[in-house]
């Protein structure tokens, strides 16, 4: 019996994670996947390039939903995903991470009694002011299979009374990074295009609502990046939303090396040869570690607490780096294969 998996994605980090899991699904005769793209990230530089570079399966349903407030966006996605589920009649709905697309997919499936599998379950920043925190908590509480990347994620779920269906599998982003390094090779042409010297520049990203919702918050982040740029170039692949917000506030990016968003392979090359990373992205904090680069997180907390305790990451307004050591619990690069094996066993196919 072949099980149909309806995968819901909508944002850059999800495309990267889905690439790893979709490869494992494609290699498994017991599962067939249908890809749903909500349209949350719709700019070609934030979407199409990842599908092309990473070999993600062709989109079966593009819902083309973006813009508007959180409630409006999530509500429109919920309605459209529900119709897609009714049309496709999947056996599973698979979601990733903590975006509006994640929550909408999980809620639509739960209300139609379709079991939900959540990749990157159990992460907590313990800051309920973050939309992402609300999304991940609610998604976990309606999921049947919860694929945790770390032991702390398992512990977080246990504290919330969730123990059934919880599996520690490692981090699919590690799987994706291993594949990206292999694909990118050791010829980072993007460094030449930008005139960068290996080991002598910083990679930065800024997009979180807490850093872009007010003029004061965005100005504070840009001030930190501009201060860093006095010592070495700071490369900032600029999120379209951040660019729009900065323009509205009348803020500039002077002194920073601003570029358009880049594909995953170019980003892997930038990370692989930089001196350090400064970001408010959860995913990039881990990618920095996978490339063994120190990271400064431009937030007051992080859901990836082990990157702090193991000395690879620090909060921008917190203490300096702890003594550095390896993080063993992210797995061995085979998290995606474990996810597929568990789904097959849960479906009685294995």
Picking from 4-8, 12-16, 218-222, which range would have the lowest pLDDT averaged per residue? 12-16
What pLDDT does residue 187 have? 60
Which segments of the chain belong to CATH 3.40.50.2000? 3-171+331-347, 183-328
Give CATH for domain 183-328.
Answer: 3.40.50.2000
37 counts as catalytic? no
CB contact at 8 A, 175 and 339? no
Q: What is the pLDDT of residues 313-334, one digit of tens each?
A: 999 999 999 999 999 889 999 9
Q: What is the pLDDT of residues 125-177, one digit of tens each?
A: 999 988 999 999 999 999 999 999 999 999 999 999 999 999 999 999 999 88
Please state the φ and ψ torsions of residue 103, each to the nearest 5 degrees.
-65, -45
What pLDDT does residue 186 have? 60
What pLDDT does residue 350 have? 45
d(CA 267, CA 193): 13
Q: What is the pLDDT of residues 162-220, one digit of tens each?
A: 999 999 999 999 998 888 888 766 666 899 999 999 999 999 999 998 999 999 999 99
Q: What is the pTM of this model?
A: 0.86
Instruction: Give the active site residue among 41, 61, 118, 207.
Output: 207
d(CA 324, CA 77): 42
Q: What is the pLDDT of residues 47-104, one digit of tens each?
A: 577 777 777 888 999 999 988 888 999 999 999 999 999 999 999 999 999 999 999 9
User: Domain 3-171+331-347 falls in which CATH fold?
Assistant: Rossmann fold (3.40.50)
Q: Where are the beta strands (DSSP E) in the chain?
A: 3-9, 31-37, 59-62, 92-96, 116-119, 145-148, 166-168, 202-205, 234-237, 257-259, 276-279, 295-297, 313-315
Band of residue 264 on the pLDDT scale cut at 50, 70, 90? confident
CB contact at 8 A, 321 and 314? yes
Residue 44 has pLDDT above 80, yes or no: no
DSSP-derived secondary structure letter, 45: G
């Amino acid at each position: 019996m072949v099980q149909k998996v309806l995968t819901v994605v909508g944002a850059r980090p999800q495309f990267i994670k889905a690439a790893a899991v979709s490869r494992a699904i494609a290699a498994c005769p017991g599962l067939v996947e249908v890809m749903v793209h909500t349209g949350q990230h719709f700019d070609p530089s934030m979407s199409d390039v990842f599908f092309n570079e990473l070999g993600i399966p062709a989109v079966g349903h593009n819902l083309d939903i973006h813009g508007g407030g959180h409630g409006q966006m999530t509500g429109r996605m919920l309605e459209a995903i529900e119709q897609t589920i009714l049309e496709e009649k999947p056996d599973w709905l698979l979601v990733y991470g903590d975006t509006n697309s994640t929550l909408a997919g999980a809620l639509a499936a739960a209300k139609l009694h379709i079991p939900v599998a959540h990749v990157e379950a159990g992460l907590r920043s313990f800051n309920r002011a973050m939309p992402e925190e609300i999304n991940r908590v609610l998604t976990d509480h309606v999921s049947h299979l919860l694929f945790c990347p770390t032991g702390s994620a398992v512990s977080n779920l246990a504290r919330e009374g969730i123990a059934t269906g919880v599996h520690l599998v490692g981090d699919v982003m590690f799987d994706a990074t291993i594949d990206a390094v292999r694909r990118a090779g050791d010829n980072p042409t993007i460094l030449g295009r930008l005139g960068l010297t290996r080991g002598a520049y910083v990679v930065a990203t800024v997009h979180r609502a807490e850093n872009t919702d007010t003029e004061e918050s965005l100005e504070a982040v840009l001030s930190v990046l501009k201060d860093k740029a006095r010592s070495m170039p700071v490369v900032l692949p600029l999120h379209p939303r951040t660019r729009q917000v900065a323009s509205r506030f009348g803020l500039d990016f002077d002194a920073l090396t601003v570029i358009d968003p880049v594909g995953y392979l170019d980003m892997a090359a930038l990370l692989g040869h930089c001196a350090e990373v400064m970001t408010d992205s959860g995913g990039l904090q881990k990618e920095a570690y996978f490339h063994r680069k120190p990271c400064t997180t431009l937030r007051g907390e992080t859901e990836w607490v082990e990157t702090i305790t193991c000395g690879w990451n620090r909060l921008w307004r917190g203490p300096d780096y702890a003594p550095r050591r390896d993080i063993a619990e992210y797995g061995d690069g085979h998290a995606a294969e474990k996810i597929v094996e568990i789904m097959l066993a849960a479906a009685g196919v294995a």
